[in-house]
Amino acid sequence: MTKNIAQTDTVRLSDDGNSIEIIDQTKLPGRIHVKSLSRQEDIWHAINILEVRGAPAIGVTAALSMYLAAKNISADQKTNGNPDHMKKERFFTRLEAAKNYLNSSRPTAVNLSWATNRMEKFAIRFFEQNFETDNLTTILKTVDAMKGEALTVWQEDIDTCRAIGEHSLSLVKEGAGLLTHCNAGKLATVRYGTATSVMYLGQEKGYDFKIYCDETRPLLQGARLTAFELASAGLDVTLLCDNMSASLMKTGKIDAVFVGCDRVAANGDTANKIGTSLLALSAKRYGVPFYVCAPTSTIDLNCKTGSDIVIEERSGDEVTNMWFERRIAPENIKVYNPSFDVTDSDLITAIITEKGIINNPSINGVNI
């Protein structure tokens, strides 16, 4: 199924409630394809190979996936003939297994485990507070309630991104030059994006921003996704190679950098797509404010510093031949391909959340 990207949420529950519909980002920008996912294995695969990507979108997908898992488990419970007293234990054991399985798809984005844990805790709490005559009846009520909770997560993402955009807009002037890295846009969330929400809201208010986006090697999310979605929305956007950002800042054309993140540590260090830390270093050198847009669900107070963040290392094929007609590197060459790097908090001007702006996180921390 193909739709206009401006009219399509990145992630949503299907109308019949039996599947998750995502914009398959591996097909962009050549094709806008909305893919339907119902099996846990297919959802795991979609997150792992970046058909759905971006911490907030992954979190929403995870919440919806937990509801679908619970729905399927409860259907089995109705037909498997187990004694009623065993149904509760088996339901929550299988729900926990579904959570752990989904969490293994991508370890760095805290929104994934945040969403699965939230859904599991909600289910346990609801069951205990709403027990009826038997376990199966209560399980079915719990599953219905989980649908509502998953849709709440979905709506919260929309509201959160718009709030981040409003706070970000207070930091820049009309006509500003804005630089972003990777894709923290609509395609990384349900709508608006985190780092790009300021751009979309600025467009609504006629701010006439000049936007620049790094291509973001090796997976080219900036070139394939950010440039595509912003241009499709009619914004003034210019694409550049990652190693051109410092020379662009030196010209004075960049007034602020806005990036997203996958995890914020308690001391304000942030993990984001590889190359972000170099961008922050350049911004520091040329006196350009560097802003990290982070939903509070991305803040992990159990993670003390950036050194505690697990960095996913991906296949070397992404560097050596993924985007080329033939291999560009020698056979059997070793490849270093971390998916993320950590930007130290002293390089960050402010962290912008839906609740407000945290200035100087290296001094103030990220208590919210």
Annotated catalytic residues are 262
Q: Which residue has the tokens 């694409």?
A: 239
Q: Which residues contact 325 (CB under 8 A, 6 or more apart)?
A: none
| The token pair that represents 158 in the structure block | 């929309």
Closest Cα to residue 22, out of 51, 42, 63? 51
Determine the Cα–Cα distance for residues 87 and 84; give it in Å rounded to an integer: 5
| The token pair that represents 297 in the structure block | 């669900």
Determine the Cα–Cα distance for residues 347 and 121; give it in Å rounded to an integer: 36
Closest Cα to residue 193, out of 151, 152, 235? 235
Measuring CA to CA, how many Å separate 5 from each of 30, 38, 202? Answer: 12, 22, 19
Determine the Cα–Cα distance for residues 226 and 188; give it in Å rounded to an integer: 10
- When computed from its CA atoms, the radius of gyration of the chain, rounded to whole angstroms, is 21
Q: Is 198 exposed, middle or buried (0-12, 13-18, 19+ CB in 10 A)?
A: buried
Determine the Cα–Cα distance for residues 247 and 241; give it in Å rounded to an integer: 11
Orientation angle between helical segments 110-129 and 84-103, nearest 10 degrees: 170
Determine the Cα–Cα distance for residues 132 and 140; give it in Å rounded to an integer: 11
Determine the Cα–Cα distance for residues 310 and 73; give it in Å rounded to an integer: 31
